[in-house]
Structure 1
């Protein structure tokens, strides 16, 4: 099934080194799919240089400076320079205290650092300033879940999912947090959403995996239908291995989960939530050793 990998520019690697030591090895695919890791592109380098020049020019007012810091923060985040991004988002808020998107980014960074009180303050600020800003609810829900408050997380993730019930990722994250909250109807609701809303969006393949329609080997095969687009492949693999890791976690196999998280990170898709949380999960594993 994975023999078509060459036309997508990806690599297939025997999976024995993972499955040999994994208690869920019978469920693990026999091969992994790899993309060429994404690299910092020319456009990002030029954007950083240009934004730096603009910030140093003295030609912009306070609100414009806040926007420039925010835009540079986004580029820093996209290329994995998160400490610099966090600094720029802080500067943006200092210059523009009602900067909703900057509060949201800071909340994400506080969550990744397990500074949950600060994360909640940032997300609360975003929600107070813009009650319809759905991403603040999503990330606050994730933060609440990792802070062992899944019941509170449910309110936020339900708000987020209800705004776009046909979005497979919103369906999936509601399901994941429902599991943490012990919701008995989680699986039934996932299957029902799949029946009702599924379309050609690749994200529904992840939902199919969680609903039990396809196995992991078949699921990995779906990542390669990208017509040779390495970026698209890397993005799909970042997502695929993260959600496979979450399945391994639920199965009580931290070794396999850790391996999948590392494979998710290997694609260098720094600005995806799956990349952020894969690193967060690995750091948690390491702190428990």
Structure 2
């Protein structure tokens, strides 16, 4: 945090420092400050899809689903080939009671590479078991990342279907095994806290 503050002091237009500090604030639970820094990135670069995605995630964590959905919309518009923007739009739309646009959005994605199996899972074309099988890879680092994402998004689908216990098991795996830099690691922890609060 001190390094981000110093970088911004030296260069008030340093977008990457605002983005990094926003992520640090988010992890610390300072959501208003995280949104302020994402706002600053967007002011400096209105075409920054990652900034809209990051702000959407903070709105999701805070429970501001309509604002989150609007930001995922913009992130997807700016980068229609981002499978993660598409997946998160679907997650927030379903939680908000909005209709799915996944099938149309998927036509813009490369469905020959990861995370296409997760998109197919949400479209009903693959089972969770098939997604986990597709996550396997000879490269241990890539396998760890893909299994992490398979567990997290399988849990999100289970939540949509009302299967809280199945979701909890997969979220536990994601929270334990996801690389800490992955949004799915932090998001799994957020979801587990929410499930605990609903017990």
What range describes the TM-score normalised by the shorter chain of this pair?
0.7 to 0.9
Of residues 101, 104, 129 in structure 2, which corresponds to 1:192?
104
How far 1:123 sits from its partner (Å)? 0.9
Output the CA distance in 2 between the equivalents of 1:87 and 1:125: 18
How far 1:114 sits from its partner (Å)? 3.3
Distance 1:178-1:287 versus aligned 2 partners, 3 A rule: closer
Q: In the alignment, is residue 221 of structure 1 matched against residue 133 of structure 2?
A: yes
Q: Is the 8 A contact 1:112 1:280 kept in 2?
A: no
Q: Which residue of 2 aligns with 1:266?
A: 176
Q: Is the 8 A contact 2:42 2:51 kept in 1?
A: yes
How far 1:195 sits from its partner (Å)? 4.4
Q: Which residue of 2 aligns with 1:232?
A: 142
* Range moving further from structure 2, 205-214 or 123-132: 123-132
How far 1:138 sits from its partner (Å)? 0.5
TM-score, normalised with respect to structure 2: 0.88
How far 1:139 sits from its partner (Å)? 1.1
Question: Structure 2: where are the runs of 5+ without partners?
Answer: none
Q: Is the 8 A contact 2:8 2:14 kept in 1?
A: yes
- Give 1 or 2 for the bigger CA radius of gyration: 1
TM-score, normalised with respect to structure 1: 0.63
Q: Which residue of 1 aligns with 2:115?
A: 203
- Higher share of residues assigned helix: 2
Q: Is the 8 A contact 2:49 2:79 kept in 1?
A: no
Q: Which residue of 2 aligns with 1:55?
A: none
Q: CA RMSD in A?
A: 2.1
Structure 2 matches for 1:42-121, cutoff 5 A? 86-121=1-36
How far 1:258 sits from its partner (Å)? 2.5
Q: In the alignment, is residue 242 of structure 1 matched against residue 152 of structure 2?
A: yes
Q: Which residue of 2 aligns with 1:9?
A: none
Q: Which residue of 2 aligns with 1:141?
A: 56
Which structure has the higher relative contact order (CA within 8 Å, separation 6+)? 1
Q: In the alignment, is residue 158 of structure 1 matched against residue 70 of structure 2?
A: no
> Secondary structure, in 3 states, of the residue corresponding to 1:266?
helix
Question: Structure 1: where are the runs of 5+ without partners?
Answer: 1-85
1:244-279 superposed Cα distances (whole Å, 9 cap, x missing partner): 111222233333322212211333412211122123
Q: In the alignment, is residue 256 of structure 1 matched against residue 166 of structure 2?
A: yes
Q: Is the 8 A contact 1:153 1:177 kept in 2?
A: yes
> Secondary structure, in 3 states, of the residue corresponding to 2:180?
coil
Q: Which residue of 2 aligns with 1:172?
A: 87
